[in-house]
Structure 1
Amino acid sequence: MKEERITITALSSISPLGCSPDEIWKNYLKSDHHLVEKDFGDDSALVAPLSDSSAEAVKSIRNSDQKYKTLDASVLYAMQASRLAVKQAGWEKEDCFGINIGSSRGATGLFEKYHEEFLREKQSSTLASPTTTLGNISSWIAHDLQSEGPELSHSITCSTALHALVNGVAWIKSGMSDKFLVGGSEASLTPFTIAQMKALKIYAENKNDSFPCKALDLNKKRNSMVLGEGAAVICMEIGGDNETLAYVEGVGYATEVLKHNISISDDAICFQKSMKMALKDTNPDEVDVIVMHAPGTIKGDSSEVKAIEKVFGDKIPALTTNKWKIGHTFGASGLLSLELGVLMMQNEHFINVPYLENKKSPEKIKKILINAVGFGGNAVSVLLSKP
């Protein structure tokens, strides 16, 4: 029996770049970043908050239902992106599509709010538990869309969104579901989260630099990660009557034994395995672009590049990342990277990293590999091809 291809028939996001494909692409074509300094209690930090248009869309969805006013921003971000994607795909609730949307941190804002309240009042609010469970995101989206298919939530740190994609592929290939809505959402620009990242000594400190997050710059002398926020989802199905944005040619995943709580091996063995699995029978020479995870840390960036060199040898595809522009959006980052890949294929235009020397541009953009990895060495790679 011939295996049918899995297609991406819709893609939607909200992020520092905006909430519509045109707005997002226009911002990608600009060589400036979306990082700003923001106060967090007694401290300040560089972050990449939602664009004004994205924030307005989230405000509208919060005000659309009294029940939504008590939900965490991470749920609302995913809800907004999901509404747009399902509408774009032309799905109806009777289609019985599955939902798998995860988050690295989940209801960060509400957790901090309710914990502060508990310390102050010595008791918890009634809604503290039901509104901060990780299953909130997919459950509320299923409610909002009135879908009747399976709904899953999970957290696999920064590779969460691409793991959701892998889950969706597995469900579709098993024949248990014809269609799946997958993605990731993160609203982690909170005092405690920022403090945690700074404690790891990986956060950007040079606020006066033209490009404070030096993602993919292998010559940087200090870590330069910056946090962003947002959500991104895609609609996947077999074949599909709608316009195909991209084909999912292959998926790969791997976890490596760690020597430290947060770091991976010097040559990212997990990425080597995940990329090889995603490529499967595809000749590495056919890959035109790799959208890297590249968080802006010295170790994270260099280990991924070394893994790419191991897999691709002396024929390295064009490399890029979006974290210098929108920061690291944790659980949403993998699908925001995928969005960049799809947009580059659609527009036949490569988005490079402006401060890099010896930039390589691809001759064509037909096949793109997307990478993501999180704390714990959980790597995922997804190979996309142009319709």
Structure 2
Amino acid sequence: MNQKISITALASLSTLGTTKKEIWDNYLTPKSHIAKKQIGDKSVWAASISEKLNEEIQKLQESDIKYKGLDKSVVYAIYVSRLAMQQANWSTEDIFGINIGSSRGATELFEKYHAEFVQTNRVSTLASPTTTLGNISSWVANDLQSSGPEISHSITCSTSLHSLLNGVAWLLSGMTNKFLVGGSEAPLTPFTIAQMQALSIYSRQEDDYPCKAFDLSKKENTMVIGEGASVIALEIGEKDNALAFVEGVGYATEVLQHNISISTDAECFQKSMKMALKNTPIEEVDAIVMHAPGTIKGDTSELNAIRKVFGNQLPFLTTNKWKIGHTFGASGLLSVELAVLMLQNQELIAIPFYEQEKRNRPIKKILVNAVGFGGNAVSILISK
């Protein structure tokens, strides 16, 4: 990129909480935040938000009669977007774009309305508008009273990093100076769980770490779903209030050999990482926040790609899915959040079952990876 992009705000909600202190304190502990949860008629591993945070979400939903019929994925996005706008000190006078995507969108509402249709052959009046994917950014724009472009999309599990890519493109084009980007996911529903179990990738572990993301010795897939939302405020140039900077972006799609898997050496990741690092020597990268979903092939193929790009000079490798689960479309931005927090606190968060040495030097640059069904990889270089 010929110009840095400032991250002037970062807000999220997940099983780790919603305040920066709470989230960082939870990262500092080696404890997984995944627990058994009753979803439909099944008790499964899941990473859900706390009861206290859920009460805040309900309070927000009940604050406006128009919000009562919205899916959680939309309400989560409104909640974190309000926080980000306050942090960035933006007002309704500012013109900024919004691009908040989701892998699945209003899955809870869709399941509810479909069940209603099967039983009665009729659906509620608002069934269509409340389950469309564009619902997320448009409702956030309505809530924030913004006047810029509104975009929602789904590019499976790399959705929120694609939102970041899109925001960067708008900023570099000169069409706007500010963009709010992110992802929101509320996937803890019976149908979603059943879909992941049908793929034979859902965790059946019975120990303290149900999701063994980047445990290279695991013998079976251990993916676990989590719910969450994350947005960041982007501004063109180097701002004094920047939390961190977007220094490089990369993307790639590879020809798939199978509907849900990428190649053994994750060619898409090799290409996206090289693109993001175009103007950066590999030895300057201090860490990589990997996608690492907790599946055997997903974890090993990404490691193979990293080895292809970095050779013997591997940066510190980490991921958050062993702790917060896979939040689908929101996962990429939650990984960016981890990267920013590590840069701010100058401490790297280790994976409990992957041994490596920490470099004794300041943490200045971190690469963040995400990929989804369809082989669509994104890599973002974040700097201090």
8 Å CA contact retained: 1:89, 1:242: no
Counterparts of 2:3 and 2:303 in 1: how far apart (Å)?
33
Q: CA deviation at 1:300?
A: 0.1
Q: What CA RMSD, in Å, does the superposition of the two structures yield over aligned residues?
A: 1.1
8 Å CA contact retained: 1:16, 1:54: no
For residue 147 of structure 1, give the secondary structure of its aligned residue in structure 2.
coil
Q: 1:242 to 1:90 in 2, by over 3 A?
A: farther
Instruction: Determine the structure 2 residue equivalent to 1:320.
Output: 318
Q: CA deviation at 1:237?
A: 0.4
Instruction: Determine the structure 1 residue equivalent to 2:15.
Output: 16
Q: CA deviation at 1:281?
A: 1.1
Q: CA deviation at 1:59?
A: 1.6
For residue 165 of structure 2, give the secondary structure of its aligned residue in structure 1.
helix
Q: Does 1:247 align with 2:245?
A: yes
Instruction: Determine the structure 2 residue equivalent to 1:92.
Output: 91
Counterparts of 2:220 and 2:3 in 1: how far apart (Å)?
47
Q: CA deviation at 1:44?
A: 1.9
Q: Does 1:264 align with 2:283?
A: no
Instruction: Determine the structure 1 residue equivalent to 2:158.
Output: 159
Counterparts of 1:74 and 1:113 in 2: how far apart (Å)?
14
Instruction: Determine the structure 2 residue equivalent to 1:238.
Output: 236
Instruction: Determine the structure 2 residue equivalent to 1:360.
Output: 357
8 Å CA contact retained: 2:4, 2:238: no
Q: Does 1:132 align with 2:117?
A: no
Q: CA deviation at 1:361?
A: 1.7
Q: CA deviation at 1:64?
A: 1.3
Q: 1:290-369 alignment to 2 at 5 Å?
A: 290-356=288-354, 358-363=355-360, 364-369=362-367
Q: Give a deviation string over 1:364-387, Cα, whole Å, max 9, x none.
A: 31100000000000000000100x
Q: Give a deviation string over 1:163-203, Cα, whole Å, max 9, x none.
A: 00000000000001100000000000000000000000000
Q: Give a deviation string over 1:245-279, Cα, whole Å, max 9, x none.
A: 11100000000000110000000000000000000
8 Å CA contact retained: 1:18, 1:53: no
8 Å CA contact retained: 1:296, 1:324: yes
Q: Give a deviation string over 1:303-355, Cα, whole Å, max 9, x none.
A: 00000000000000000000000000000000000000000110011110112
Q: CA deviation at 1:210?
A: 1.6
Counterparts of 2:86 and 2:239 in 1: how far apart (Å)?
14
Counterparts of 2:50 and 2:312 in 1: how far apart (Å)?
39
Q: Does 1:279 align with 2:277?
A: yes
Counterparts of 1:166 and 1:280 in 2: how far apart (Å)?
16
For residue 130 of structure 2, give the secondary structure of its aligned residue in structure 1.
coil
Counterparts of 2:190 and 2:63 in 1: how far apart (Å)?
28
Q: Give a deviation string over 1:214-257, Cα, whole Å, max 9, x none.
A: 00011110000000000000000013655111110000000000
Equivalent pairs counted in the alignment come to 383
How does the TM-score come out when normalised to structure 1?
0.97
The residue type equivalent to 2:366 in the other structure is I
Q: CA deviation at 1:95?
A: 1.1
8 Å CA contact retained: 1:350, 1:362: no
How does the TM-score come out when normalised to structure 2?
0.98
For residue 12 of structure 1, give the secondary structure of its aligned residue in structure 2.
strand
Counterparts of 2:127 and 2:240 in 1: how far apart (Å)?
41
8 Å CA contact retained: 2:40, 2:189: no
For structure 2, list consecutive stretches of 5 or more residues without a partner in the other structure. Answer: none
Counterparts of 1:7 and 1:31 in 2: how far apart (Å)?
31
Q: CA deviation at 1:36?
A: 1.0
Counterparts of 1:302 and 1:337 in 2: how far apart (Å)?
18
The residue type equivalent to 1:373 in the other structure is V
Q: CA deviation at 1:3?
A: 4.4
Tell me the percent identity.
66
Instruction: Determine the structure 2 residue equivalent to 1:120.
Output: 119
The residue type equivalent to 2:76 in the other structure is Y
Instruction: Determine the structure 2 residue equivalent to 1:222.
Output: 220
The residue type equivalent to 2:218 in the other structure is K
Instruction: Determine the structure 1 residue equivalent to 2:45.
Output: 46
The residue type equivalent to 1:154 in the other structure is H
